[in-house]
Amino acid sequence: MVTLTVALGIRHFIVEARYIPSGSMLPGLQLQDRLLVEKLTYRFRSPQRGEIVVFRAPQAFDPALKQDYAAGPLRCFLVNLPFIGGLPGLQEPACEAFIKRVVAIPGDKVVVDPNGRLSINGKAVDEPYVERFCASDQGKGCQPLRAVVPPRSVLVLGDNRANSWDGRFWPGTHFLPDDQIIGRALFRFWPVASAGSLVSPDPTTQAPATPSPAPAP
């Protein structure tokens, strides 16, 4: 009993394992990848651009969705236990967890164009982790967004811009409140061939690539 209590305490307050259930973070994170999500960092600082976060489903905090998917903390606690949550009939959308990337922080003026390309405070952002943009020239554009991130919130988008239900589409609020973040995705431990750190720098602070000098005549 003591061992179980300690294990649950570690999982709830410090670190837990999660898996990738969808393709919204392709190609960087593949379906069924296993990650370690740490829960201490955001007790001491706010999320930063570029970080991958796990958070409660929009049905738990979006005003337009919450009214249809209300679920108490006790139910969500039980649903999210590894040995209970998979039982038939216990699934609850408001208790699920999502994983996306923080692309904007409070005060940022954000523009996401129909291709899914991002601009922050009037400057285009180079996002090397995004390979799947939307083909707006073929009539399959993404949902655009133009907004300012409010206090104590962040904007999160999926790396797979063409197939991600993220802040662009949430009907009641486009932003993720800080207090709905479960933790920061820190390390991928499975599959072994892809194991490694998931810590990413803020893309808005990276210097542009320096062009190669022209060859001497």
φ, ψ of residue 91 in degrees (nearest 5):
-65, 140
Is residue 214 one of the residues assigned to a domain? no
Give the rounded percent of residues in the chain with a pLDDT score beyond 70.
73
Q: Assess whether 100 carries a catalytic annotation.
A: yes
Predicted local distance difference test score (pLDDT) of residue 67:
74
24, 153, 164, 200: which one is catalytic? Answer: 24
CATH number for 169? 2.10.109.10
List the domain range (segments joined by +) for residue 73. 2-202
Whole-model pTM: value is: 0.82
Is residue 211 one of the residues assigned to a domain? no
214 or 114, higher pLDDT: 114
Is residue 33 one of the residues assigned to a domain? yes
Is residue 48 one of the residues assigned to a domain? yes
Residue 197 reports pLDDT greater than 90: yes
39, 100, 164, 200: which one is catalytic? Answer: 100
Is residue 213 one of the residues assigned to a domain? no
- What's the number of domains the chain is made of? 1
Q: Share the mean pLDDT of the chain.
A: 83
Find out whether 142 and 111 touch, Cβ atoms under 8 Å: no
Is residue 212 one of the residues assigned to a domain? no
In terms of Cα–Cα distance, which of 183, 185, 187 is closest to 42? 183
